[in-house]
């Protein structure tokens, strides 16, 4: 699944760069959307995010493309990989910004871990 965000003034620190914290907030939400669309009926809650490294500053007016896909699956959890790319609207060139993995656990209505539909294994 691909989705897009426009970096606007409210997302910048006072040096004019995108706050890293916004990237992490977006990655969490986007991975959640991808997982929830792929697994109808599951109730996912974020339990972990891998370490991240930001190699380039991102400026106002940049369009970010986020690509996310299922990376692995446990008995009660799924892990989604998300990669972010910055699109230079002048040249149309795109370059990678960072990537990470987000882990979600599937909960029932009382908040207890629940096996994923079709899960047969014993790992979490």
Examine residue 50 and tell whether it contacts a copy of itself (CB under 8 A). yes
Cα→Cα distances 45→12, 59, 109, Å = 28, 31, 12
Examine residue 118 and tell whether it contacts a copy of itself (CB under 8 A). no
Examine residue 90 and tell whether it contacts a copy of itself (CB under 8 A). yes
Report residue 88 CA to chain centroid gap.
Answer: 21
3-state secondary structure 77-116: EEEEEEEEEEECCCCCCEEEEEEEEEEEEEECCCCCECCC
Token pair for 38: 């792929």
Size of the site for a copy of itself (CB under 8 A): 55
Examine residue 15 and tell whether it contacts a copy of itself (CB under 8 A). yes
**Beta carbon nearer to a copy of itself, 75 or 87:** 87
Contact residues: a copy of itself, CB under 8 A: 1-4, 6-10, 12-15, 17, 19-22, 24-30, 32-33, 36-37, 40-41, 43, 45-55, 57, 60-61, 63, 87-92, 107, 111
């Amino acid at each position: 699944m691909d989705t897009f965000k426009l970096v606007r003034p409210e997302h910048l620190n006072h040096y004019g760069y995108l706050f890293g914290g916004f990237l992490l907030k977006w990655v969490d939400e986007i991975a959640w959307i991808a997982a929830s669309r792929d697994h109808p009926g599951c109730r996912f809650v974020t339990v972990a995010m891998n370490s991240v490294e930001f190699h380039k500053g991102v400026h106002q007016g940049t369009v970010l493309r986020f690509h996310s896909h299922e990376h692995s699956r446990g008995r009660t959890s799924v892990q989604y990989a998300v990669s972010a790319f910055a699109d230079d609207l002048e040249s149309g060139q795109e370059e990678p910004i960072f990537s990470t993995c987000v882990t979600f656990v599937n909960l029932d209505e009382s908040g207890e871990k629940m096996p994923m539909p079709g899960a047969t294994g014993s790992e979490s």
